Amino acid sequence: MSNKLRTYLDEVTDELYHKVSWPTRAELQSSAIVVLIATLIVSLMIFLMDFSFSKIMGVFYNFFNQ
């Protein structure tokens, strides 16, 4: 069992060092900026929808409470 585990770990290490293409620092930074901008846009959209629905529901409840 120990020999199989050692072989597995050796193969995993070899694959991580020689077969996986890691992004460069510039690629990583540009991807992070894209994710940050997309997150800000989605959060703004959710905020606007929540704000709008709360105002609409407030008008709706006030209409029936009078």
Residues 12-45: pLDDT tens digits?
999 999 999 999 999 999 999 999 999 999 999 9
Cβ atoms 31, 23 nearer than 8 A: yes
Residues 47-64: pLDDT tens digits?
999 999 999 999 999 988
Cβ atoms 45, 37 nearer than 8 A: no
Whether pLDDT at 66 is above 80: no
As given in the structure block, the two tokens for residue 37 are: 């901008």
